[in-house]
Chains A and B, each alone.
Chain A
Amino acid sequence: QTVVTQEPSFSVSPGGTVTFTCGLSSDSVSASYYPSWFQQTPGQAPRTLIYSTNTRSSGVPDRFSGSILGNKAALTITGAQADDESDYYCVLYMGSGISVFGGGTKLTVL
């Protein structure tokens, strides 16, 4: 079974930069996996940040960026703010219409 891996947690100082990754247990992540990233604060629905590796969803500030770093997809937040404290999830497209979410990364801003 395919496992999508994410760091369980990260902390960043206000104004700092943080990069989360999204990997596969059995392969390298490339653009053909169409990685997407979502932000979820407690009690709220997820919000799309990035899709297709590096396309920002409407209204998402440019301090959020997506890329491929080495063999993983990556989400970078530049100039972290207090309200960036959230859970962040990636999803990868496996083909044949099937996608799989990662386990999520909890970001603390302190």
Chain B
Amino acid sequence: EVQLVQSGAEVKKPGESLKISCKGSGYIFTSYWIGWVRQMPGKGLEWMGIIQPGDSDTRYSPSFQGQVTISADKSISTAYLQWSSLKASDTAIYYCARGRNTWTEIDFWGQGALVTVSS
């Protein structure tokens, strides 16, 4: 059974760092790209970036380039999304999803991880 299991909810203060994870199982992790999607409270989905875990080829939305870092550890079938200095505006649910062909064939989503940034 394919699963993408994301790390749990986080509550952080502005300026703190954070790394959240997305662990794949039930399939060959390096056969699919992993993408990250933001959903701010009451808003729509936003494409952040993708990574191919096999060679760590990473692409970012211009809106998120330099704001976050996407990485992966194929040895443990896990992708990551990290911030070096959180802002209140980073408060959102973050989803990972897998897809073939540079994430044009997206077929499975993680359950989402709520990140709350508040002083």
CA distance A1 to B106 in the complex (A): 24
- Structural contact, B111 and A45, CB atoms closer than 8 A: yes
Least CB distance from A58 to B in Å reads: 7
Q: Which stretch, A22-30, A61-69, A70-78, A96-104, touches the partner chain B?
A: A96-104
Among candidates A40, A58, A97, A104, residue contacting B103 with C-beta atoms closer than 8 Å: A97
Whole-angstrom distance from the CB of B119 to the nearest CB of chain A? 26
Interface contact tally, CB-CB below 8 A: 71
Number of interface residues, chain A, beta carbon within 8 A: 27
Q: Which of B50, B57, B102, B104 contacts A36 (CB 8 A)?
A: B104
* Residues B109 and A91 in contact, CB atoms below 8 Å apart: no
Instruction: Report the minimal beta-carbon distance from B30 to chain A, rounded to whole angstroms.
Output: 16
Asked if B109 and A57 sit within 8 Å, CB to CB, the answer is no
Number of interface residues of B (CB under 8 A): 26
Q: Are A51 and B109 in contact, CB atoms less than 8 angstroms apart?
A: no
Looking at the assembled complex, report how far the CB atom of A5 sits from the nearest CB atom of chain B, in whole angstroms.
12
Q: A55-B105, A97-B50, A101-B37 are in contact. List 6 more A-B contacts (CB 8 A).
A: A40-B45, A51-B104, A93-B102, A93-B104, A100-B61, A101-B46
15 A-B residue contacts at CB 8 Å?
A1-B62, A34-B104, A36-B106, A46-B45, A48-B108, A57-B107, A89-B44, A97-B57, A97-B59, A99-B50, A99-B103, A100-B47, A103-B44, A104-B44, A104-B45
Residues of A with Cβ closer than 8 Å to B?
A: 1, 34, 36, 38, 40, 45-48, 51-52, 55, 57-58, 87, 89, 91, 93, 96-104
